[in-house]
């Protein structure tokens, strides 16, 4: 079958077929499979994996990276490692197209809106403090012998007079709550029960 007939039968451009057969396609480094267009990723899978781990570590510590922060970090990393890239030299950031490709290649990361969390609350919410709370609760229940009918569930909500809109951060996909540290010195905080 000739190029033209194959092109019509398979609904593939003739030039694509000839390039493929003559092995003139761009090839990924270390790959035997042809690379059929677009830009090659700037970072290797290993480096991108380390970047994902860094994003997750910062998120757990309430210092999530925004999309802009990640784009700046990608530029700095590519420059420091002397990798070939097409990032913007003027803004010193990777482009939005790189960020979209990064998120597609790493589906465990997504862009989320975090909840404002004060430093005092973040420090108080740890394994030691929670274990101490349940230990004290057990002591009170043992001492006063409350019946189930005397125990109530109370829901608490906090309202703050500052910072209603947070910048979106990169976070682990599927995580129920994403937080970021905020200064508690400004404004007022009201608690409702």
- C-alpha triplet 66, 72, 74: angle, nearest 5°: 105
Cα–Cα separations (whole angstroms), residue 76 to 7, 24, 89, 91: 45, 33, 11, 11
Q: Give the H or E element holding residue 110.
A: strand 109-112
The pLDDT assigned to 160 comes to 72
Asked whether residue 17 is domain-assigned, the answer is yes
How much is the pLDDT for 10? 83
Placement of tokens 């003027």 in the chain: 90
Number of structural domains found in the chain: 1
Domain, as residue range, for 32: 1-38
How large is the average pLDDT for residues 180-189? 62
C-alpha span between 112 and 66 (Å, rounded): 9
The answer as to whether 15 is a domain residue is yes
Q: Identify the band that residue 32 occupies on the pLDDT scale cut at 50, 70 and 90.
A: very low
Rounded mean pLDDT of the chain?
Answer: 80
Residue 164 lies in a domain: no
Residue of 21 and 152 predicted with greater confidence:
152
In a domain, 27, yes or no: yes
Domain assignment present for 3:
yes
Q: What digits encode the pLDDT tens for the residues 108-132?
A: 988 877 766 666 666 777 788 889 9
Domain-embedded: residue 121? no
Task: Indicate the pairing of strand 34-35 with strand 157-160.
Answer: unpaired
- Does pTM top 0.75 for this prediction? no
Would 4 be classed as within a structural domain? yes
């Amino acid at each position: 079958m000739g190029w033209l007939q194959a092109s019509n039968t398979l609904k593939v451009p003739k030039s694509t077929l000839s390039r493929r057969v003559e092995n003139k396609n761009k090839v990924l480094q270390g790959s035997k499979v042809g690379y059929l267009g677009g830009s090659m990723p700037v970072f290797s899978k290993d480096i991108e994996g380390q970047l994902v781990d860094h994003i997750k570590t910062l998120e757990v510590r309430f210092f999530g990276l925004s999309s802009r922060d990640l784009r700046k970090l990608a530029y700095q990393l590519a420059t420091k490692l002397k990798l070939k890239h097409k990032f913007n030299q003027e803004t010193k950031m990777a482009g939005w197209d790189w960020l979209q490709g990064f998120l597609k290649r790493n589906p465990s990361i997504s862009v989320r809106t975090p909840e404002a969390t004060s430093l005092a609350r973040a420090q108080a919410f740890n394994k030691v403090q929670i274990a101490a709370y349940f230990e004290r609760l057990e002591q009170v229940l043992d001492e006063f012998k409350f019946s189930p009918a005397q125990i109530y569930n109370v829901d608490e909500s906090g309202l703050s007079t500052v910072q209603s809109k947070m910048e979106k951060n990169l976070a682990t996909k599927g995580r129920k709550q994403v937080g970021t540290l905020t200064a508690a010195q400004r404004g007022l905080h009201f608690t409702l029960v």
